[in-house]
Amino acid sequence: MTVIVRDLRTADPADAEAFADVRRRALPFMVSTAESLLHDATHAPPEAHHQRLVAEADGEVIGTAQLDIAHDSPIPGQGNVNVYVHPEHLRRGAGALLVRTAEERLTAVGAKRLLSWVLDTAENRAFAERRGYTASRSAHFLRLDLAHGALPPLGAPPEGVELRTAADFADDPRQLFDLDAETTADEPGDLDAELNDYELWLEETYRHPLLDHALSTVVVVDGTLAAFTAVRTDGRDRYFTGMTGTARAFRGRGLAKLAKNDSLHRARAAGYTEAFTGNDSDNGPMLAVNKWFGYEVCATEVRYVRELG
């Protein structure tokens, strides 16, 4: 069978669904839908050079690639490329062809450094290293059985503390943006990000179709937004914590736990059966918080980097 690589057909819902299906099978710990893929493809700013590629064999989509330039990084020329192949179609050359095509496209738009997440298996790591990538750090996916697991009991918030949701700020989400920007700046990782474009944040984050406004909890202390947990759901049974953060002035008070516990209880009541999240392997405080909730590591990804000179 001949494998070809082409662009995702954004005008074809079936093509987007095939892309999402491969992602779900190759990376079942993430929440992905056809609607979210099309939103990302059509709302990314031009400077991101956002592209989605598919590998196709005899008319069937068997692999995917997501690539872009990290436009929100203060360091120019940082490219991202993440490739996934359907587990039943490995070792047919789809991954290699996707990587090569993605690298050529990112280089053409000024990428000087490429970063890629790779599931931590011997085969995947060897694949990356043969292509000149070097491991830099790792992160864990964690899973919580919402249907059968035991969550910590809910308690009344402390005096002066109020639990709200992202939906409560629909008329003016600016305060949420400010809180997200502060916590994002402190997030550990190898690619710094700066949230400084409110209108872009509205399109890419607050109005993203996966963001569940009703299940994303916001902690308000004496009228000030202090902490939050942003939740993505697939509208079926999967729940993913995209970001949990606390403003610097309110850290050390257990507010992140308060937000997550509130959200998880409400997610279970809404019928979600599996909760996932991701943590940098060096982020001890958040790993401890998630362990307290009953999350268990279910997979590990390794961040690989290739310097282009």
Run of H or E including 224 = strand 224-233
pLDDT for 77 beyond 90: yes
What pLDDT does residue 153 have? 95
Domain ranges of the chain: 3-111, 144-299
**Reduced to 3 states, what is the DSSP secondary structure of residue 300?**
strand
What pLDDT does residue 264 have? 97
Which CATH number is associated with domain 144-299? 3.40.630.30
CATH 3.40.630.30 fits 3-111, yes or no: yes
Q: Which residues pair with 164 in a beta bridge?
A: 218
Average pLDDT, the chain: 94
**Tens digit of each residue's pLDDT (9 = 90 or more) over 12-57:** 999 999 999 999 999 999 998 999 999 998 888 899 999 999 999 9
188 contacts 280 by C-beta, under 8 angstroms: yes
201 phi and psi angles, rounded to 5 deg: -60, -40
What pLDDT does residue 193 have? 65
**Tens digit of each residue's pLDDT (9 = 90 or more) over 180-202:** 999 988 876 665 667 889 999 99
Per-residue pLDDT band at 131 (split at 50, 70, 90): very high
**Tens digit of each residue's pLDDT (9 = 90 or more) over 196-233:** 899 999 998 999 999 999 999 999 999 999 999 999 99
pTM of the model: 0.90
pLDDT for 245 beyond 70: yes
What pLDDT does residue 299 have? 97
Q: What is the C-alpha to C-alpha distance for residues 43 and 161, in angstroms, rounded to an integer?
A: 36
Q: What is the C-alpha to C-alpha distance for residues 40 and 33, in angstroms, rounded to an integer?
A: 11
Q: Which residues pair with 165 in a beta bridge?
A: 217
What pLDDT does residue 190 have? 63
Residue with tokens 């992602």, as numbered in its chain: 23
**Tens digit of each residue's pLDDT (9 = 90 or more) over 258-267:** 999 999 999 9
